[in-house]
Amino acid sequence: MQMPTPNAAILARKDQIVKRLQSVLPEGAVVHDPFETRAYECDALTAYKCPPLCAVLPASTAEVSAVMRICHEEGVPVVPRGAGTSLAGGALPTADSVILGVARLNDVLETDFANRIIRVQSGRTNLSVTGAVEEEGFFYAPDPSSQLACAIAGNIAMNSGGAHCLKYGVTTNNLMGVTMVMADGEVVEIGGAHLDAGGLDLLGLICGSEGQLGIVTEATLRILAKPEGARPVLVGFDSNEVAGHCVSDIIKSGILPVAIEFMDRPCIRATEAFAGAGYPDCEALLIIEVEGSEAEIDDQLSRIVEIAKRHNPVELRESTSAEESAKIWLGRKSAFGAMGQINDYMCLDGTIPVSELPLVLRRIGEMSKEYGLDVGNVFHAGDGNMHPLILFDANKPGDLEKCEAFGADILKLCVEVGGCLTGEHGVGVEKRDLMVSQYNQSDLEIQLAVKDVFDPDWLMNPAKVFPLSTTETRRAS
């Protein structure tokens, strides 16, 4: 994986740049000691590391604006960082860049239950947004699995999803407004407590733009009333294909579960060995969760069970209590940890049309043999968002490269069958060079033109999302 050569002129001016940044921030908010900047050398894609020129930790929109103005004047690239949980390298610095971390922007600014909104500073963690409203019976719906740690700023940058988005949508469907600092330090307000834009949908454009169009410092989020309850059913099948058909039939029946999770045999075995959730030893397993009152849940689950039975399940376990629900979810929730115990792994994020599930799983199995690397599949089946986990040994020379090549082949397959490279993690650096398999040159050029409008000097997270060769002249100018 290649990153641009750092600008020597910027490296040479480090002291001067740090001094200017210190002049607009409180003491301790500029991290520049080469030992300390290593804390910012990577995000959750740990295979690639590079300490930044320095990191800044502003605590207000005004401070962010002051930082951006200086970086703009100095021509220094800025890499925004939420909580650093990106699996795609979205917050990976270059040596000549300033990391702008939002960790100190973590206040709740307003809760308004009559209007069902919360306004927060963007460094606030996802789960703590729900934490701020749950006593009143509300929650914030998008729930990426990193929700304990990940920040709203990163959720907005990557348009994060989660297990429950089949019913509630992803970040973009729950974001109502932002305060954003532009590349030159100008502060803009987009959207707010009202729905939908009067003019062009700039909010929709900003969500998912991976920190390349501006720094979101505050966000107005939609909150929802918590349902009365939720319960899952677990169904085991002796083939992936049949499990795939069952998913499709449930969706066609008109029931909208909040989550349909899928695990294949390698993943089931690994989690059983790790967590002992009592899963059946079968080819494919579905966890389907529905919400409502007790009676509503019973009604929906009985309809789902009826559909599942038509597909000859090898196991059918309907939860009747909170304890049983927890046990059903235990294996799924420990799947990543279980795979991690076996070896290093790389987690992919391609999305496919649900109808292509059996074909894609079969091809992944074949490729796994060709590459000689094991892979387990655990994913959100309702919306086709796959998370193949490829196991490799980071200490074995050549294994990482082999794993990346395998991953790239899987993602290209996702695009081939009508899907996309990334469903919720973002492109970052990880999938940057694969963008050409999904979009042709004109499709990419219009996206680059959008960035030209927001960030004419290409200083915001410039080495991400697009293949470096397509952005080279823009970054150099």
Partner 1 sequence: MTPTTETELAEAIAAANGPLRIRGGGTRDIGAPVDGAPLTTAGLTGVTLYEPGALTLVVQAGTPLDEVEALLAAEGQRLAFEPGDMRALLGTEGTPTIGGVIATNASGPRRIQAGAARDFCLGVRFVDGQGQVLKNGGRVMKNVTGYDLVKLMTGSWGTLGVMTEVSLKVLAIPETEATLVCADESAETAVASMAAALGSPFDVTGAAMMNGQTMIRVEGLEQSVAYRAKALQDGVLQGFDIVEGAASARMWADLRDLTPFAGKEGAVWRISVKPSDGPALVRELGALSPEAIFDWGGGLVWLRVADEEDAGAQMIRNDLSHMGGHATLVRASAATRAAVPVFHPEPAPLAALSRGLRAKFDPRGILNPGLMGA
179 touches partner 1 by CB under 8 A = no
| Interaction residues for partner 1, span 356-385 (CB under 8 A) | 380, 383-385
453 touches partner 1 by CB under 8 A = yes
Closer to partner 1 by Cβ: residue 182 or 285: 182
Distances from the Cα of 441 to the Cα of 433, 463, 475, 477, angstroms: 13, 18, 18, 20
80 touches partner 1 by CB under 8 A = no
Integer Cα distance of 272 and 330 in angstroms: 10
85 touches partner 1 by CB under 8 A = no
Binding string to partner 1 for residues 209 to 228, with x set by CB under 8 A, is what? x---------------xxxx
Which of these, 250, 254, 270, lies nearest to 336 by C-alpha position?
Answer: 270
* Total residues binding partner 1 (CB under 8 A): 93
Closer to partner 1 by Cβ: residue 202 or 400: 202
Among 33, 252, 395, 397, binds partner 1 (CB under 8 A): 252
| Interaction residues for partner 1, span 385-404 (CB under 8 A) | 385
What DSSP letter does each residue of 72-121 carry, written as one string? HHHT--EEEESSS--SS-TT---TT-EEEE-TT---EEEEETTTTEEEEE
| Interaction residues for partner 1, span 254-293 (CB under 8 A) | 254-256, 292-293
300 touches partner 1 by CB under 8 A = yes
302 touches partner 1 by CB under 8 A = no
What single DSSP character describes residue 5? P
186 touches partner 1 by CB under 8 A = yes
What single DSSP character describes residue 67? H
Q: Across the chain, which distance is largest between two alpha carbons, in Å?
A: 71
What DSSP letter does each residue of 129-178 carry, written as one string? HHHHHGGGTEE-----TTTTT-BHHHHHHHT---TTHHHH--HHHHEEEE
| Interaction residues for partner 1, span 406-435 (CB under 8 A) | 418-427, 431, 435
Among the residue ranges 4-12, 69-77, 398-406, 443-451, the one whose residues contact partner 1 (CB under 8 A):
443-451
| Interaction residues for partner 1, span 124-163 (CB under 8 A) | 137-138, 158-159, 161
Cβ burial 37-64 (10 Å sphere, 16+ → b, else e): beebbbbbbebeebbbbbbbbbbebebb
Binding string to partner 1 for residues 103 to 122, with x set by CB under 8 A, is what? ---------xxxxx------
Integer Cα distance of 32 and 10 in angstroms: 14
Closer to partner 1 by Cβ: residue 83 or 338: 83
